[in-house]
Amino acid sequence: LFPLITGANLRIFEIFQGNEVFQNNERLIQFRSLISGWLENPLMGAGFGTNVEVVRSTDYLGLYELSYIAMLFQTGIVGTTIYLSLYSWLIMKLIKIYILTKDPSVLSFCMGTIAMFIANFSNPYIDSFDGLFFIFFSLAIINKFEIEKENNNEYCNINGNI
């Protein structure tokens, strides 16, 4: 297992060392293009639907595989900070609900949401219906918990049991 992990790590660093295979990698090309575009408007970004030299999709302008780098390019430091703060708030609220309720379904959904946010680094999952499902269902769990807490003045699990 260790040689496998080490091999994967070495492969990641080859991206920045000039290996020809990785220099022509689509994500590396997108990364460089998005960062150079972001440097033109670092604070507020270029706006949604804008493209850089590399256009990934003509059907959906501004969609790139490196979602968080594209977010930085489009919304700048201010917008990216706001988005990442909201994502962090969702995760923290789900963790808090799990700690208070000990409901395993909340924990499993929280772990799945974290995995989706991690996977979003390399593919635009949050921009799809499936990715938005995690965000809206997280809000539904939080809302249900808050309503149950208000109504019962007790902590309830997500299934409604006290």
158 has pLDDT over 60: no
Long-range contacts (CB closer than 8 Å, 24 or more residues apart) made by 22-28: 26/65, 27/65, 27/66, 27/122
Task: Give pLDDT, residue 2.
Answer: 47
Work out the average pLDDT over 43-71: 88
Task: Give pLDDT, residue 161.
Answer: 52
Task: Give pLDDT, residue 133.
Answer: 92
Q: What is the pLDDT of residues 119-130, one digit of tens each?
A: 998 888 888 888
Would the pTM count as exceeding 0.85? no
Task: Give pLDDT, residue 14.
Answer: 52
Report the SS3 class of residue 111: helix
Between CA 64 and CA 71 the distance in angstroms is 9
Dihedral angle over CA of 13, 126, 123, 108, nearest 10: 70
Task: Give pLDDT, residue 162.
Answer: 43
| CA-to-CA dists, residue 74 to 35, 80, 84, 123, angstroms | 11, 9, 14, 16
Q: What is the pLDDT of residues 59-115, one digit of tens each?
A: 888 888 899 999 999 999 999 999 999 999 999 999 999 999 999 999 999 999 999
Token pair belonging to 77: 């430091």
Task: Give pLDDT, residue 107.
Answer: 96
Between CA 109 and CA 138 the distance in angstroms is 8
Q: What is the pLDDT of residues 130-154, one digit of tens each?
A: 889 999 999 999 999 999 888 886 5
Task: Give pLDDT, residue 156.
Answer: 54
